[in-house]
Amino acid sequence: MSEKLWGGRFAKSTDEMINDFQASIGFDKRLYREDIAGSLAHAAMLAACGIISREDEEKIAAGLKAILRDIEEGRFSFDVALEDIHMNIEKRLTDAIGEAGGRLHTARSRNDQVALDMHLYVRREVAAVAEHILDLQRALAGTAAKYRDVIMPGYTHLQRAQPILLAHHLLAYFAMLGRDFDRFAGVWQRADIMPLGAGALAGTTFPIDREFVARRLHFERIYGNSLDAVSDRDYILEFLAAASILMVHLSRLSEEIILWCTREFSFIELDDAHCTGSSMMPQKKNPDVSELVRGKTGRVVGHLMAMLTAVKGLPLAYNKDLQEDKEGLFDAIDTVKFSLAVYARLLRGMKVNREIMRRAVDEDFSNATDLADYLAKKGLPFREAHAVAGRAVQYCIERQKWLKDLTTEEFRALSPLFADDIREAISPEACVKNRNSLGGTSNAQVDRQLEAAEALIESGAKLVADWESRLPEIG
């Protein structure tokens, strides 16, 4: 039987199966850096407040740093009987330095300890996810710039609608990711609040200095209510919500990539190194990355649902249910970072079939709106212009022609307002160039978006660097 740190009031040791069931060490060991950083700050505060001696603090700090090295160098064996990362570290510390180790947990509970660890961890991972978002944005903007002049059909209802620039399409995803970045910045703000000092739930009888700990760990704010501090998982819910929305964006992009590399579309070609084949059908080249990202979206959304459901009926303050906040979050973090990184690589290796995209607008009626706009600009009410253009399309379908194939006479038979310049007005280049309203697909508007994109990436990178400078250094 291994001695529990809380064993005092127990006459029996924990049933082995129950122990396995309630332990979290299998997954919360990934909090070891945060746990040690938190304990270092806590011990320094206890000493500064005269609650423990300087000598004890020095022993604790040296002991914790040795444990950090042991863990990083793979010399630390985690014991499931010690339940979680907090008690694994504390037990090892006490074994190593004796009495002083036993003083570390003064004025602290695992409830505020785990809350502190998770706040530190979420801040760190928000910075990491944000960096990945910026890199995918760079890849999107880079691809958009590289194929700046490529025209493709824009779709509604997955039916060809109006010609657009491929760059415009890609920059729509850039914009979604920009909002994802902002959502994660919001998560940083909500996670940037220091819970330690709440004790188990009600505060502590010791004369602690919570500002000291907040300063040391670079937290902007401190929880003003101890019950809230140990019960709050909003910032985790928000992380999962932001991650879910981000994954939904990647999933939509995935769906398009998958469509675009079908034989039917053939708009793009993915790098051979980014696809897989079939064990049976020799011709296959499958877009697995996109399919997997689309599939993994369900997992991340599931983690959000699981956590919302876990929290919804909980009374204040800590309940063990809250231990369930970790696995889903950890998996969401891994999934989101991996998906973003893989997508940046996929886009950088992607080739665009300009000719096929071009043919899809040349041999199509996606310029019909422009035909109607032409007439409306000559004074015909748009509703009537729409009807004339509809008749023109029908006329073409019956004769197996495109609008660009009609002679001026054929156009004039449909409306006397047509003149020789009509064919030029409905060329794909004109269709694109003339949609110059703010945020439209015109070359000028897309150039503006590309310029703005650069500035956005730059300011995003500055913000992330600021966050990173506020992550605690240990070791």
**Least distance between ligand ARG and beta carbon 467 (Å):** 24
Q: Quick check: is 119 catalytic? A: no
Site string for ligand ARG, 241-270 (x = CB under 6 A): ------------------------------
Q: Binding residues for ligand ARG, how many (CB under 6 A)?
A: 10
CA 396 to chain centroid, in Å, comes to: 47
> What whole-number distance in Å separates Cα of residue 221 and Cα of residue 215?
9
State which of positions 21-40 bind ligand ARG (CB under 6 A).
24, 28
In the complex, the smallest distance separating the C-beta of residue 36 from ligand ARG, rounded to whole angstroms, is 16
Residue 233 CA to residue 118 CA, distance in Å, equals 9
Which CB atom, from 83 or from 135, has the smaller least distance to ligand ARG?
83
User: β-strand 193-194 against 159-165: which pairing, if any?
Assistant: unpaired
Per DSSP, the three-state class of 351 is: strand
Active site residue 278: yes
Helices (H) and strands (E) in the chain, counts: 20, 6
Would you say 15 or 272 has its CB closer to ligand ARG?
A: 15
DSSP string for 262-288: STTT--EE--GGG-B--SS-TT--B-H
Smaller CB separation from ligand ARG, 108 or 138 = 108
**Subset of residues 48 to 87 that bind ligand ARG, contact rule: CB under 6 A:** 84
Strands 351-352 and 268-269, bridge-based pairing: antiparallel
Catalytic residue, chosen from 77, 157, 279, 437, is 157
| CB closer to ligand ARG, 84 vs 192 | 84
| Nearest residue (CB) to ligand ARG, 121 versus 318 | 318
Integer Cα distance of 389 and 392 in angstroms: 5
Question: 279 φ, ψ to 5°?
Answer: -75, -15
User: Where would I find the beta strands (DSSP E) of 207-341?
Assistant: 221-222, 268-269
Q: Which of 206, 243, 255, 203 is nearest to 225 (CA)?
A: 203
Nearest to 210 by CA among 197, 198, 199, 220: 197
Q: Is the Cβ–Cβ distance between 274 and 345 less than 8 Å?
A: yes
* Binding residues among 85-124 for ligand ARG as defined by CB under 6 A: 110-111, 114
Q: DSSP secondary-structure letter at 389? A: H
Footprint on residues 314-353 left by ligand ARG (CB under 6 A)? 318, 320, 322-323
Which residue's CB is nearer to ligand ARG, number 121 or number 173?
121
Considering the candidates 278, 279, 366, 469, report the single residue annotated as catalytic.
278
Per DSSP, 15 falls in state P
Q: At what angle do helices 443-469 and 110-146 cross, to 10 degrees?
A: 150
H helices present in 107-233, as ranges: 110-146, 166-191, 210-216, 226-231
* Closer residue to ligand ARG (CB): 28 or 90: 28
Residues whose CB falls within 8 Å of the CB of residue 316, separated by 6 or more in sequence, listed in order: 201, 227, 231
Q: How far is the CB of 106 from ligand ARG (least distance, A)?
A: 17
**Residue 366 makes contact with ligand ARG by CB under 6 A:** no
Closest separation between CB of residue 121 and ligand ARG, Å?
12
111 or 442: CB nearest ligand ARG: 111
What sign results for the dihedral spanned by CA atoms 251, 254, 259, 263?
negative
- Point out which residues bind ligand ARG (CB under 6 A): 24, 28, 84, 110-111, 114, 318, 320, 322-323
Positions marked catalytic = 157, 278
